[in-house]
Structure 1
Amino acid sequence: MNTYSRILFVCAGNTCRGPMAATIMQQFVQDMGILTDSRGMVVLFPEPYNPKAVAVCAGHGMIMPSNSAAQLENTDFDNNTLVLVMNQSMKQKIYESYDRAINVYTLGEFAGAGETEIADPYGRGIDEYNQCFEQLYVLIEKAAEIIRKNMEEEKDDSNRQ
């Protein structure tokens, strides 16, 4: 398993699930020197993050950066970047649309939760945003454990050499 210096979360418009996921993951990997960020599959203009997503993160003691939506680009892919998406169709679309796509997994797949899909709460109430946050949190906690374990194993391997 590869170790990564950057984790990129990709959702539809980069205003809700991706930014929430990047904010959550940052809590788990900030001591590992890993950067977290998010991108969207279709971003027509740089709109601000969804206020409900920002409020839900704040309600859990996490401050979402005040960035605006950004489009996924071919330059976002490299050997040191882990790309986590919300569902299988996004993963497939990325591999079809980006010739440099590499290290792309669904969040559920990477976290060992199989075909778990993260529903988009866009246009719904605050309860749906909270449910989305909770689902992301559980999967990201598992994914962060895997990343930490891989980094420790790689460090152990290099110490043995």
Structure 2
Amino acid sequence: MFDSVLVVCAGNICRSPTAEYVLKSKLQNKGVTVTSAGLTALEGKPADATAQHIAEQHGINMAEHRGQQINSALVQHNSVILVMEQRHLTDLCTRYPQARGKTFLLGKWLNDTEIPDPYRQSLEAFTHVYELIDSACSAWQKYL
């Protein structure tokens, strides 16, 4: 099926790294490479501390993550690109027309649910976003 997945959000410190590591966990031993990037990435920054804390509570370690900016090579070299919001999909496909046809909402299989940005919000907001990401990644599992 697909051999590589790129997960994209805005800053690449909350949602996309969480989805990257959740997908890696769910796709272990399937030969699928999962990475993440941001449309306006905080390059070199670790995942948000609250996002890391919640992921750790679910057995997922994101300590190695460092934010990276999306670029044409990442778009070209990934089979599927998953984004958090419709505006990310529009922006990505405008910047990189080659992304059309392989870019989808992470929440596609959850009635096209968008994943809201929890950055600088409450622990409850981060928990809600983690649960949405986990559900969306589970829904993608059978397609990847």
The bucket for the TM-score relative to the shorter chain is over 0.9
The letter for the 1-side match of 2:137 is I
Give the corresponding residue for 2:30: 32
Give the corresponding residue for 1:51: 49
Q: In structure 1, how many angstroms separate the alpha carbons of the residues matched to 2:7 and 2:59?
A: 20
Please, what TM-score do these two structures have when normalized by structure 2? 0.92
Over 3 Å counting, the alpha-carbon distance change for 1:15 and 1:79 in structure 2 is closer
Matches within 5 A, 1:135-146: 135-146=132-143
Percent identical residues: 26
Gaps of 5+ in 2: none
- The counterpart of 1:133, out of the listed 113, 130, 135, is 130
- The counterpart of 1:95, out of the listed 76, 93, 96, is 93
Indicate if the aligned counterparts of 1:11 and 1:85 stay in contact, CA closer than 8 A: yes
CA deviation profile, 1:28-62 (whole Å, cap 9, x unmatched): 11110111111000025422210111111001111
Do residues 64 (structure 1) and 62 (structure 2) align? yes
Over 3 Å counting, the alpha-carbon distance change for 1:35 and 1:136 in structure 2 is same
Over 3 Å counting, the alpha-carbon distance change for 1:44 and 1:132 in structure 2 is closer
Q: In structure 1, how many angstroms separate the alpha carbons of the residues matched to 2:39 and 2:46?
A: 16
Gaps of 5+ in 1: 148-161
User: What is the CA-CA distance between 1:87 and the residue it aligns to?
Assistant: 1.1
More helix by share: 1
User: What is the CA-CA distance between 1:114 and the residue it aligns to?
Assistant: 2.8
Partner of 1:32, secondary structure, is coil
Partner of 1:100, secondary structure, is helix
Q: In structure 1, how many angstroms separate the alpha carbons of the residues matched to 2:63 and 2:103?
A: 24
Q: In structure 1, how many angstroms separate the alpha carbons of the residues matched to 2:36 and 2:43?
A: 15
Give the corresponding residue for 1:18: 16
Equivalent residue pairs, number: 143
Partner of 1:113, secondary structure, is coil
User: What is the CA-CA distance between 1:66 and the residue it aligns to?
Assistant: 1.4
Partner of 1:62, secondary structure, is coil
Root-mean-square deviation (CA), in Å? Answer: 1.5
- The counterpart of 1:118, out of the listed 108, 115, 118, is 115
Provide runs of 4+ in structure 1 moved above 3 Å.
none
Indicate if the aligned counterparts of 1:52 and 1:129 stay in contact, CA closer than 8 A: yes
Please, what TM-score do these two structures have when normalized by structure 1? 0.83
Over 3 Å counting, the alpha-carbon distance change for 1:45 and 1:37 in structure 2 is closer
